[in-house]
Amino acid sequence: MSRRRLDVLGEPHPAYVVWELTLRCDHACTHCGSRAAVARDHELSPAEALAVVPQLAALGAREVVLIGGEAYLHPGFLELVRALAAAGVSPTMTTGGKGITPELARAMAEAGLVRVSVSIDGLAPTHDRMRASRGSFARATAALGHLREAGIRIAANTNLNRLNRDDLEPLYEHLRGQGIGSWQVQLTAPLGRAADRVDMILQPWDLLDLLPRIAALKLRARGDGIVLMPGNNLGYFGPEEGLLRSLHADGDDHFMGCQAGRFVMGIESDGAVKGCPSLQTRAYAGASVRGAELATIWREDPKVGALRSRTLEDLWGLCRECVFAETCMGGCSFTAHSILGRPGNDPYCHFRARTLAMRGLRERLVPVARAPGEPFDNGRFELVLEPLDAPDPGARLSAARRSSARDRVGLPVVREGEPGRGA
Protein backbone atom coordinates (compact mmCIF):
# COMPACT_ATOMS: atom_id res chain seq x y z
CA MET A 1 0.00 0.00 0.00
CA SER A 2 1.20 3.51 -0.74
CA ARG A 3 2.64 5.26 2.28
CA ARG A 4 0.37 8.28 1.70
CA ARG A 5 -2.46 8.75 4.17
CA LEU A 6 -5.41 7.81 1.99
CA ASP A 7 -7.95 9.16 4.46
CA VAL A 8 -7.06 12.77 3.64
CA LEU A 9 -7.46 12.55 -0.13
CA GLY A 10 -10.98 13.94 -0.33
CA GLU A 11 -13.77 12.43 -2.42
CA PRO A 12 -13.38 8.76 -3.35
CA HIS A 13 -11.11 8.23 -6.33
CA PRO A 14 -8.62 5.50 -7.25
CA ALA A 15 -5.48 7.16 -5.92
CA TYR A 16 -3.75 3.79 -5.54
CA VAL A 17 -4.28 1.17 -8.24
CA VAL A 18 -2.97 -2.39 -8.38
CA TRP A 19 -3.07 -3.74 -11.93
CA GLU A 20 -2.69 -7.44 -12.64
CA LEU A 21 -1.33 -7.38 -16.21
CA THR A 22 -1.36 -11.16 -16.65
CA LEU A 23 -2.00 -14.25 -14.57
CA ARG A 24 0.89 -15.95 -16.37
CA CYS A 25 3.68 -16.61 -13.87
CA ASP A 26 7.10 -18.25 -13.67
CA HIS A 27 6.30 -19.39 -10.11
CA ALA A 28 3.39 -21.46 -8.77
CA CYS A 29 3.53 -20.29 -5.16
CA THR A 30 1.81 -22.34 -2.49
CA HIS A 31 0.21 -19.25 -0.95
CA CYS A 32 -0.76 -17.36 -4.12
CA GLY A 33 -4.15 -15.68 -3.73
CA SER A 34 -4.74 -15.53 -7.47
CA ARG A 35 -3.53 -19.10 -8.13
CA ALA A 36 -1.27 -17.61 -10.81
CA ALA A 37 0.48 -19.88 -13.33
CA VAL A 38 -1.18 -19.54 -16.74
CA ALA A 39 -2.80 -16.50 -18.32
CA ARG A 40 -6.50 -15.83 -17.89
CA ASP A 41 -8.75 -16.23 -20.88
CA HIS A 42 -9.06 -13.02 -22.92
CA GLU A 43 -6.43 -10.92 -21.15
CA LEU A 44 -6.10 -7.31 -22.24
CA SER A 45 -3.86 -6.83 -25.24
CA PRO A 46 -1.09 -4.21 -25.13
CA ALA A 47 -3.31 -1.80 -27.09
CA GLU A 48 -6.29 -2.38 -24.78
CA ALA A 49 -4.13 -1.86 -21.71
CA LEU A 50 -2.67 1.37 -23.09
CA ALA A 51 -6.19 2.72 -23.61
CA VAL A 52 -6.80 2.44 -19.86
CA VAL A 53 -3.85 4.67 -18.93
CA PRO A 54 -5.40 8.09 -19.77
CA GLN A 55 -8.58 7.00 -17.99
CA LEU A 56 -6.60 6.26 -14.82
CA ALA A 57 -4.87 9.62 -15.02
CA ALA A 58 -8.22 11.41 -15.50
CA LEU A 59 -9.59 9.71 -12.38
CA GLY A 60 -6.68 10.99 -10.29
CA ALA A 61 -4.57 7.86 -9.94
CA ARG A 62 -1.28 8.69 -8.24
CA GLU A 63 0.41 5.31 -8.25
CA VAL A 64 -0.16 2.15 -10.29
CA VAL A 65 1.45 -1.04 -9.02
CA LEU A 66 1.94 -3.54 -11.83
CA ILE A 67 1.60 -7.16 -10.72
CA GLY A 68 0.79 -10.60 -12.10
CA GLY A 69 1.31 -13.47 -12.19
CA GLU A 70 4.42 -11.70 -13.34
CA ALA A 71 3.87 -8.31 -14.96
CA TYR A 72 7.06 -8.57 -17.02
CA LEU A 73 5.59 -11.59 -18.84
CA HIS A 74 2.91 -9.38 -20.43
CA PRO A 75 3.97 -8.38 -23.95
CA GLY A 76 3.11 -4.73 -23.34
CA PHE A 77 4.81 -4.40 -19.95
CA LEU A 78 7.54 -1.86 -20.77
CA GLU A 79 5.31 0.13 -23.11
CA LEU A 80 2.72 0.41 -20.37
CA VAL A 81 5.34 1.62 -17.86
CA ARG A 82 6.34 4.35 -20.32
CA ALA A 83 2.73 5.38 -20.86
CA LEU A 84 2.00 5.63 -17.13
CA ALA A 85 5.09 7.72 -16.51
CA ALA A 86 4.23 10.01 -19.44
CA ALA A 87 0.70 10.44 -18.06
CA GLY A 88 2.07 11.62 -14.70
CA VAL A 89 1.11 8.43 -12.85
CA SER A 90 3.88 6.85 -10.78
CA PRO A 91 4.54 3.30 -12.12
CA THR A 92 5.77 0.78 -9.55
CA MET A 93 5.86 -3.00 -9.44
CA THR A 94 5.61 -6.03 -7.17
CA THR A 95 7.40 -9.15 -8.40
CA GLY A 96 8.77 -12.54 -7.45
CA GLY A 97 11.92 -11.47 -9.28
CA LYS A 98 12.73 -14.84 -10.86
CA GLY A 99 13.21 -13.49 -14.38
CA ILE A 100 14.71 -10.10 -13.64
CA THR A 101 18.10 -9.99 -15.31
CA PRO A 102 20.50 -7.02 -15.38
CA GLU A 103 19.27 -6.29 -18.91
CA LEU A 104 15.59 -6.32 -17.94
CA ALA A 105 16.30 -4.18 -14.87
CA ARG A 106 17.99 -1.56 -17.05
CA ALA A 107 15.08 -1.61 -19.50
CA MET A 108 12.63 -1.17 -16.62
CA ALA A 109 14.59 1.82 -15.35
CA GLU A 110 14.76 3.38 -18.81
CA ALA A 111 10.99 2.96 -19.21
CA GLY A 112 10.45 4.97 -16.03
CA LEU A 113 9.67 2.37 -13.35
CA VAL A 114 10.04 4.19 -10.03
CA ARG A 115 10.14 1.43 -7.42
CA VAL A 116 10.08 -2.36 -7.38
CA SER A 117 9.12 -4.50 -4.40
CA VAL A 118 10.45 -8.05 -4.53
CA SER A 119 8.46 -10.69 -2.65
CA ILE A 120 10.75 -12.58 -0.26
CA ASP A 121 8.96 -14.81 2.21
CA GLY A 122 11.69 -16.18 4.45
CA LEU A 123 15.23 -17.46 4.35
CA ALA A 124 16.18 -19.76 1.48
CA PRO A 125 14.64 -23.08 2.66
CA THR A 126 11.33 -21.49 3.64
CA HIS A 127 11.09 -19.13 0.70
CA ASP A 128 11.85 -21.86 -1.84
CA ARG A 129 9.26 -24.13 -0.22
CA MET A 130 6.58 -21.45 -0.31
CA ARG A 131 7.48 -20.48 -3.88
CA ALA A 132 7.62 -24.16 -4.95
CA SER A 133 10.84 -23.39 -6.81
CA ARG A 134 14.34 -24.42 -5.77
CA GLY A 135 16.70 -21.46 -6.08
CA SER A 136 13.89 -18.89 -5.96
CA PHE A 137 15.39 -17.16 -2.90
CA ALA A 138 18.73 -16.72 -4.66
CA ARG A 139 17.07 -15.35 -7.79
CA ALA A 140 14.86 -12.94 -5.83
CA THR A 141 17.90 -11.69 -3.92
CA ALA A 142 19.80 -11.29 -7.19
CA ALA A 143 16.87 -9.33 -8.62
CA LEU A 144 17.18 -6.80 -5.80
CA GLY A 145 20.81 -6.29 -6.75
CA HIS A 146 20.07 -5.94 -10.47
CA LEU A 147 17.33 -3.39 -9.80
CA ARG A 148 19.46 -1.40 -7.37
CA GLU A 149 22.34 -1.27 -9.85
CA ALA A 150 19.92 -0.08 -12.55
CA GLY A 151 18.95 2.87 -10.35
CA ILE A 152 15.48 1.70 -9.34
CA ARG A 153 14.41 2.13 -5.71
CA ILE A 154 14.08 -1.31 -4.18
CA ALA A 155 11.73 -2.64 -1.53
CA ALA A 156 10.62 -6.03 -0.24
CA ASN A 157 7.33 -7.53 0.88
CA THR A 158 6.66 -10.62 2.98
CA ASN A 159 3.62 -12.78 3.69
CA LEU A 160 3.73 -13.99 7.30
CA ASN A 161 2.43 -17.42 8.26
CA ARG A 162 3.30 -20.44 10.38
CA LEU A 163 5.94 -21.61 7.92
CA ASN A 164 8.08 -18.48 8.04
CA ARG A 165 7.35 -16.68 11.31
CA ASP A 166 10.61 -17.91 12.85
CA ASP A 167 12.53 -16.38 9.92
CA LEU A 168 11.31 -12.86 10.64
CA GLU A 169 14.35 -11.36 12.38
CA PRO A 170 17.07 -13.03 10.27
CA LEU A 171 15.10 -12.15 7.14
CA TYR A 172 15.23 -8.50 8.16
CA GLU A 173 19.02 -8.74 8.44
CA HIS A 174 19.20 -10.27 4.97
CA LEU A 175 17.00 -7.61 3.41
CA ARG A 176 18.87 -4.82 5.17
CA GLY A 177 22.05 -6.16 3.64
CA GLN A 178 20.53 -5.85 0.16
CA GLY A 179 19.93 -2.12 0.61
CA ILE A 180 16.14 -2.04 0.58
CA GLY A 181 14.44 1.25 1.37
CA SER A 182 11.17 -0.20 2.63
CA TRP A 183 9.62 -3.49 3.73
CA GLN A 184 5.94 -4.36 3.91
CA VAL A 185 4.83 -7.28 6.07
CA GLN A 186 1.34 -8.71 5.91
CA LEU A 187 -0.51 -11.87 6.90
CA THR A 188 -1.04 -14.78 4.55
CA ALA A 189 -4.82 -14.93 4.32
CA PRO A 190 -6.55 -18.21 3.38
CA LEU A 191 -7.13 -16.98 -0.16
CA GLY A 192 -6.46 -18.89 -3.38
CA ARG A 193 -3.83 -21.61 -2.95
CA ALA A 194 -3.33 -20.62 0.69
CA ALA A 195 -6.94 -21.68 1.28
CA ASP A 196 -5.85 -25.20 0.31
CA ARG A 197 -3.02 -25.21 2.87
CA VAL A 198 -4.68 -24.18 6.08
CA ASP A 199 -1.90 -25.59 8.26
CA MET A 200 0.30 -22.69 7.17
CA ILE A 201 -2.24 -20.05 8.20
CA LEU A 202 -1.62 -18.20 11.46
CA GLN A 203 -4.12 -18.57 14.27
CA PRO A 204 -5.45 -15.29 15.74
CA TRP A 205 -3.56 -15.81 19.01
CA ASP A 206 -0.28 -15.96 17.07
CA LEU A 207 -0.57 -12.17 16.82
CA LEU A 208 0.22 -11.92 20.54
CA ASP A 209 3.77 -13.02 19.76
CA LEU A 210 4.10 -11.62 16.26
CA LEU A 211 3.05 -7.98 16.66
CA PRO A 212 5.57 -7.06 19.39
CA ARG A 213 8.34 -8.64 17.30
CA ILE A 214 7.35 -6.63 14.23
CA ALA A 215 7.22 -3.46 16.34
CA ALA A 216 10.74 -4.15 17.64
CA LEU A 217 11.94 -4.63 14.06
CA LYS A 218 10.31 -1.36 13.04
CA LEU A 219 12.38 0.48 15.63
CA ARG A 220 15.53 -1.21 14.34
CA ALA A 221 14.56 -0.45 10.75
CA ARG A 222 13.97 3.20 11.56
CA GLY A 223 17.51 3.42 12.89
CA ASP A 224 18.75 1.78 9.70
CA GLY A 225 16.86 4.19 7.43
CA ILE A 226 14.36 1.54 6.31
CA VAL A 227 10.60 2.13 6.34
CA LEU A 228 8.83 -0.96 7.71
CA MET A 229 5.07 -0.82 7.28
CA PRO A 230 2.28 -3.31 8.01
CA GLY A 231 -0.07 -4.44 5.29
CA ASN A 232 -3.74 -3.67 5.64
CA ASN A 233 -4.56 -7.02 7.24
CA LEU A 234 -1.99 -6.77 10.05
CA GLY A 235 -2.33 -4.97 13.36
CA TYR A 236 -5.32 -3.00 14.63
CA PHE A 237 -5.21 -0.99 17.82
CA GLY A 238 -2.84 -2.92 20.00
CA PRO A 239 -0.27 -0.94 22.02
CA GLU A 240 2.10 -0.90 19.01
CA GLU A 241 -0.46 0.50 16.54
CA GLY A 242 0.89 4.06 16.42
CA LEU A 243 4.46 2.86 15.99
CA LEU A 244 3.57 0.34 13.31
CA ARG A 245 1.49 2.65 11.12
CA SER A 246 3.44 5.90 11.45
CA LEU A 247 6.25 6.99 9.18
CA HIS A 248 7.85 9.20 11.81
CA ALA A 249 8.98 8.62 15.38
CA ASP A 250 6.38 11.02 16.80
CA GLY A 251 3.52 9.76 14.62
CA ASP A 252 0.20 8.52 15.96
CA ASP A 253 -1.33 7.10 12.79
CA HIS A 254 -3.72 4.20 13.04
CA PHE A 255 -5.78 1.95 10.79
CA MET A 256 -8.58 3.91 9.12
CA GLY A 257 -10.69 1.07 7.80
CA CYS A 258 -10.89 -0.76 4.48
CA GLN A 259 -10.24 1.61 1.58
CA ALA A 260 -11.53 -0.73 -1.14
CA GLY A 261 -13.52 1.25 -3.68
CA ARG A 262 -12.74 4.50 -1.87
CA PHE A 263 -9.12 5.29 -2.67
CA VAL A 264 -8.01 1.85 -3.87
CA MET A 265 -8.77 0.01 -7.11
CA GLY A 266 -7.78 -3.35 -8.54
CA ILE A 267 -7.80 -4.29 -12.22
CA GLU A 268 -7.63 -7.94 -13.24
CA SER A 269 -5.82 -9.00 -16.39
CA ASP A 270 -9.04 -9.53 -18.36
CA GLY A 271 -10.07 -5.96 -17.54
CA ALA A 272 -12.43 -6.68 -14.62
CA VAL A 273 -12.41 -3.91 -12.01
CA LYS A 274 -12.52 -4.45 -8.25
CA GLY A 275 -12.44 -2.14 -5.27
CA CYS A 276 -9.26 -3.85 -4.01
CA PRO A 277 -6.87 -6.17 -5.87
CA SER A 278 -7.15 -8.93 -3.24
CA LEU A 279 -10.95 -9.05 -3.04
CA GLN A 280 -12.60 -12.28 -4.08
CA THR A 281 -13.24 -12.20 -7.84
CA ARG A 282 -16.59 -13.97 -7.79
CA ALA A 283 -18.10 -11.66 -5.15
CA TYR A 284 -16.50 -8.31 -5.98
CA ALA A 285 -15.33 -8.12 -9.62
CA GLY A 286 -17.38 -5.60 -11.57
CA ALA A 287 -17.53 -4.75 -15.24
CA SER A 288 -14.53 -4.92 -17.55
CA VAL A 289 -12.79 -1.92 -19.06
CA ARG A 290 -13.43 -3.62 -22.41
CA GLY A 291 -17.12 -2.85 -22.19
CA ALA A 292 -17.37 0.45 -20.31
CA GLU A 293 -15.45 3.58 -19.42
CA LEU A 294 -13.37 3.22 -16.28
CA ALA A 295 -14.96 6.29 -14.69
CA THR A 296 -18.43 4.81 -15.16
CA ILE A 297 -17.39 1.49 -13.66
CA TRP A 298 -15.76 3.23 -10.68
CA ARG A 299 -18.73 5.45 -9.92
CA GLU A 300 -21.68 3.24 -10.80
CA ASP A 301 -20.79 -0.45 -10.66
CA PRO A 302 -22.37 -1.86 -7.47
CA LYS A 303 -19.69 -4.52 -6.98
CA VAL A 304 -16.82 -2.04 -7.26
CA GLY A 305 -18.48 0.28 -4.75
CA ALA A 306 -19.87 -2.45 -2.53
CA LEU A 307 -17.62 -1.62 0.44
CA ARG A 308 -17.63 2.16 -0.07
CA SER A 309 -20.70 3.07 1.93
CA ARG A 310 -20.78 0.50 4.71
CA THR A 311 -22.03 1.50 8.15
CA LEU A 312 -21.75 0.03 11.63
CA GLU A 313 -24.83 -2.02 10.85
CA ASP A 314 -22.75 -4.03 8.36
CA LEU A 315 -20.40 -5.22 11.11
CA TRP A 316 -21.09 -8.34 13.16
CA GLY A 317 -19.59 -10.58 15.83
CA LEU A 318 -16.91 -9.07 18.05
CA CYS A 319 -16.14 -6.38 15.47
CA ARG A 320 -19.63 -4.94 15.91
CA GLU A 321 -19.15 -4.75 19.68
CA CYS A 322 -15.63 -3.28 19.55
CA VAL A 323 -14.88 0.21 20.89
CA PHE A 324 -12.93 0.91 17.67
CA ALA A 325 -15.74 -0.27 15.38
CA GLU A 326 -16.55 3.12 13.84
CA THR A 327 -12.92 3.75 12.91
CA CYS A 328 -11.78 0.25 11.97
CA MET A 329 -15.02 -0.92 10.28
CA GLY A 330 -14.20 -4.58 10.73
CA GLY A 331 -10.58 -4.69 9.62
CA CYS A 332 -9.54 -6.09 6.25
CA SER A 333 -12.48 -6.99 4.04
CA PHE A 334 -10.87 -9.63 1.83
CA THR A 335 -9.26 -11.31 4.85
CA ALA A 336 -12.53 -11.42 6.80
CA HIS A 337 -14.34 -12.74 3.74
CA SER A 338 -11.68 -15.43 3.24
CA ILE A 339 -12.36 -16.74 6.75
CA LEU A 340 -16.09 -16.31 7.40
CA GLY A 341 -17.54 -15.83 3.92
CA ARG A 342 -18.27 -12.11 4.17
CA PRO A 343 -16.66 -8.95 5.55
CA GLY A 344 -17.40 -7.16 8.79
CA ASN A 345 -15.84 -9.53 11.34
CA ASP A 346 -12.07 -10.00 11.13
CA PRO A 347 -10.50 -12.27 13.77
CA TYR A 348 -6.95 -11.24 12.74
CA CYS A 349 -6.95 -8.29 15.14
CA HIS A 350 -4.28 -7.66 17.77
CA PHE A 351 -6.66 -5.71 20.03
CA ARG A 352 -9.22 -8.51 19.81
CA ALA A 353 -6.64 -11.21 20.57
CA ARG A 354 -5.31 -9.23 23.54
CA THR A 355 -8.79 -8.54 24.89
CA LEU A 356 -9.70 -12.22 24.75
CA ALA A 357 -6.34 -13.23 26.25
CA MET A 358 -6.99 -11.00 29.27
CA ARG A 359 -10.10 -13.13 29.82
CA GLY A 360 -8.06 -16.31 29.41
CA LEU A 361 -9.58 -17.03 25.99
CA ARG A 362 -8.58 -17.25 22.35
CA GLU A 363 -10.20 -17.88 18.96
CA ARG A 364 -9.20 -20.79 16.76
CA LEU A 365 -9.89 -21.07 13.02
CA VAL A 366 -11.27 -24.46 12.03
CA PRO A 367 -11.85 -25.21 8.31
CA VAL A 368 -15.34 -26.37 7.38
CA ALA A 369 -15.55 -25.81 3.59
CA ARG A 370 -12.93 -26.07 0.85
CA ALA A 371 -12.20 -23.41 -1.74
CA PRO A 372 -13.50 -24.20 -5.25
CA GLY A 373 -10.10 -23.70 -6.93
CA GLU A 374 -10.55 -20.37 -8.71
CA PRO A 375 -8.40 -17.20 -8.70
CA PHE A 376 -9.02 -15.18 -5.54
CA ASP A 377 -11.35 -17.75 -4.00
CA ASN A 378 -11.76 -18.92 -0.43
CA GLY A 379 -13.09 -21.73 1.68
CA ARG A 380 -14.79 -21.11 5.01
CA PHE A 381 -13.88 -21.46 8.67
CA GLU A 382 -15.62 -21.62 12.00
CA LEU A 383 -14.30 -19.66 14.95
CA VAL A 384 -14.00 -21.76 18.09
CA LEU A 385 -13.65 -19.85 21.35
CA GLU A 386 -11.52 -21.82 23.80
CA PRO A 387 -9.16 -21.40 26.78
CA LEU A 388 -5.99 -19.49 26.00
CA ASP A 389 -3.82 -22.34 27.27
CA ALA A 390 -5.63 -25.08 25.32
CA PRO A 391 -3.41 -27.39 23.24
CA ASP A 392 -2.87 -26.28 19.66
CA PRO A 393 -4.36 -29.09 17.57
CA GLY A 394 -3.42 -27.53 14.23
CA ALA A 395 -5.81 -26.41 11.51
CA ARG A 396 -6.91 -29.82 10.25
CA LEU A 397 -9.37 -31.29 12.71
CA SER A 398 -12.00 -33.88 11.98
CA ALA A 399 -15.62 -32.97 12.57
CA ALA A 400 -15.73 -35.33 15.56
CA ARG A 401 -12.71 -33.71 17.19
CA ARG A 402 -14.13 -30.20 16.56
CA SER A 403 -17.39 -31.25 18.19
CA SER A 404 -15.53 -32.79 21.12
CA ALA A 405 -13.51 -29.61 21.65
CA ARG A 406 -16.64 -27.45 21.67
CA ASP A 407 -18.37 -29.76 24.12
CA ARG A 408 -15.33 -29.75 26.39
CA VAL A 409 -15.16 -25.98 26.77
CA GLY A 410 -18.89 -25.35 26.45
CA LEU A 411 -18.37 -22.25 24.28
CA PRO A 412 -20.04 -21.10 21.05
CA VAL A 413 -18.95 -21.26 17.44
CA VAL A 414 -19.55 -18.37 15.05
CA ARG A 415 -20.76 -19.40 11.64
CA GLU A 416 -21.36 -17.42 8.48
CA GLY A 417 -24.78 -15.84 8.55
CA GLU A 418 -25.00 -15.33 12.30
CA PRO A 419 -24.34 -11.59 12.76
CA GLY A 420 -24.48 -10.10 16.19
CA ARG A 421 -23.37 -13.18 18.09
CA GLY A 422 -20.30 -12.99 20.26
CA ALA A 423 -17.26 -14.45 18.52
Beta strands 63-67 and 16-20: pairing type? parallel
pLDDT at 146 over 80: yes
pLDDT at 419 over 60: no
Which CA distances in Å does 4 have to 94, 214, 229, 418? 18, 21, 12, 36
**Could you give the CA distance from residue 274 to residue 304 in angstroms, rounded to a whole number?**
5
Tell me the β-bridge partners of 18.
Answer: 65, 266
pLDDT at 417 over 70: no
Kindly report, residue by residue over 295-338, the tens digit of the pLDDT: 999 999 999 999 998 999 999 999 999 999 999 999 999 999 99
Q: Quick one: average pLDDT of 127-137?
A: 95
Task: Tell me what pLDDT residue 249 has.
Answer: 81
Domains and their CATH numbers in the chain: 6-300 (3.20.20.70), 312-414 (no CATH)
Q: How confident is the model at residue 412 (pLDDT cuts 50, 70, 90)?
A: very low
More confident: 213 or 394: 213
**Could you say which DSSP state residue 203 is in?**
P
More confident: 99 or 11: 99
* The CA-based dihedral angle spanning residues 276, 279, 282, 283, taken in that order and rounded to the nearest 10 degrees: -90
Contact 163, 197 (CB under 8 A): no
pLDDT at 413 over 90: no
Nearest CA to 29 among 74, 69, 72? 69
- The three-point CA angle 130-134-136 to 5° equals 70
**Could you give the CA distance from residue 235 to residue 230 in angstroms, rounded to a whole number?**
7
Strands (E), 22-146: 63-67, 90-95, 115-119
Task: Tell me what pLDDT residue 11 has.
Answer: 87
The DSSP line for 383-400 is EEEEETTS----S---HH
Report the chain's mean pLDDT, rounded to a whole number.
90
Share of the chain above pLDDT 90, in %: 86
Residue 213 CB neighbours (<10 A):
14
**Could you give the CA distance from residue 4 to residue 162 in angstroms, rounded to a whole number?**
30
Q: How confident is the model at residue 250 (pLDDT cuts 50, 70, 90)?
A: confident
**Could you give the CA distance from residue 372 to residue 262 in angstroms, rounded to a whole number?**
29
Q: How confident is the model at residue 400 (pLDDT cuts 50, 70, 90)?
A: very low
Share of the chain above pLDDT 70, in %: 91
Q: How confident is the model at residue 9 (pLDDT cuts 50, 70, 90)?
A: low
Contact 221, 230 (CB under 8 A): no
Nearest CA to 208 among 350, 106, 421? 350
Task: Tell me what pLDDT residue 248 has.
Answer: 83
pLDDT at 47 over 80: yes
Task: Tell me what pLDDT residue 283 has.
Answer: 96
Q: At residue 342, what is the residue type?
A: R
Task: Tell me what pLDDT residue 169 has.
Answer: 97
**Could you say which DSSP state residue 275 is in?**
S
Kindly report, residue by residue over 52-79, the tens digit of the pLDDT: 999 999 999 999 999 999 999 999 999 9
Q: How confident is the model at residue 402 (pLDDT cuts 50, 70, 90)?
A: very low
Task: Tell me what pLDDT residue 406 has.
Answer: 33
